[in-house]
Amino acid sequence: MKLLVPVKRVVDYNVKVRVKSDGSAVETAGVKMSMNPFDEIATEEAIRLKEKGVATEIIAISAGIAACQETIRTALAMGADRGILVETDVALEPLAVAKILKAIVEKEGIDLVILGKQAIDDDMNATGQMLAALLGWPQGTFASKIEIADGTATITREVDGGLETIALKLPAIVTADLRLNEPRYASLPNIMKARKKTIDTIKPADLGVDPAPRLTTIKVSEPPSRKAGIKVADVAALIDKLRNEAKVIS
């Protein structure tokens, strides 16, 4: 069984995000970038499935500028077998990414796509669902547990009321939630080996995909600064402020 794991290059989650002075976008120049944390969880799960003998090959794919090769190398160092970079300098939206992934799935004969439920830069949470719709495949979103046997993927997923278990006939799409696993650290020997693994570079046009954006960003701004709290003398004073100033109770 062949697995496809999309990995996105994003601003590292430990970095304080800053907005460009002109308000056009988030500042990325000179900023530490890394693999989207949810995609890292998806990569770990794919590797575990291969270690169990369920999968035969793991392909890591990223779409974006040439620097996205670094993200793919991270996946290769963790244990993916080879990588594909769909190189473009166009700002990609979920639908364009889903179309790219669909083309790769059909070209490579993929049986299971595991990807992060969302990216921490745009929080779209849409690519997995769009890909499932384009392919006409079943999907298991927000997965906290994955079991595969006899051509079926049993997914435990997190819902508002707790947990839900569903069975998907393969091929299928699964999006990884935070509690699915704890990603491993790539060892130095594996980092060195990853340098020798293959990364194929192609263009969206090679896949018959037009990545042109359909959305226009009007303005990007930082959230307003949080006001300092105040102390009140007693419960009566608190209730008075909640009722008359904050107006959150009547």
Euclidean distance between CA atoms 198 and 60, whole angstroms: 11
Is residue 173 included in any domain, yes or no?
yes
Instruction: For residue 204, give every residue at least 6 positions away whose Cβ sits within 8 Å of its Cβ, in sequence order, or none.
Output: 63, 86, 88, 90, 96, 100, 210, 211
Domain with 115 in it: 2-223
Mean pLDDT in residue range 86-93: 94
Euclidean distance between CA atoms 71 and 142, whole angstroms: 22
Is residue 227 scored above 90 in pLDDT? Answer: no
Euclidean distance between CA atoms 133 and 232, whole angstroms: 54
Instruction: For residue 190, give every residue at least 6 positions away whose Cβ sits within 8 Å of its Cβ, in sequence order, or none.
Output: 77, 78, 79
Is residue 6 scored above 90 in pLDDT? Answer: yes
Single out the residue of 126, 132, 94 nearest to residue 113, CA to CA: 132
Is residue 230 included in any domain, yes or no?
no
Is residue 234 included in any domain, yes or no?
no
Q: Which residue bears the tokens 């994003």?
A: 10
Q: What CATH number does residue 153 fall under?
A: 3.40.50.620
Coil/strand/helix, residue 68: helix
Domain count, the chain: 1
Parallel, antiparallel, or unpaired: how do β-strands 82-87 and 199-202 relate?
parallel
Residue 25 has what pLDDT? 87
Is residue 158 included in any domain, yes or no?
yes
Is residue 222 scored above 90 in pLDDT? Answer: no
Residue 229 has what pLDDT? 86
List, for residues 95-152, the tens digit of each pLDDT value: 999 999 999 999 999 999 999 999 999 999 999 999 999 999 999 999 999 999 999 9
- Mean pLDDT for the chain? 94
List, for residues 162-183, the tens digit of each pLDDT value: 999 999 999 999 999 999 999 9
List, for residues 7-40, the tens digit of each pLDDT value: 999 999 999 999 998 888 888 888 999 999 999 9
Is residue 231 included in any domain, yes or no?
no
Is residue 17 included in any domain, yes or no?
yes
Is residue 240 included in any domain, yes or no?
no
Q: What is the DSSP code string of 130-183?
A: HHHHHHT--EEEEEEEEEEETTEEEEEEEETTEEEEEEEESSEEEEE-GGG--P
Is residue 88 included in any domain, yes or no?
yes
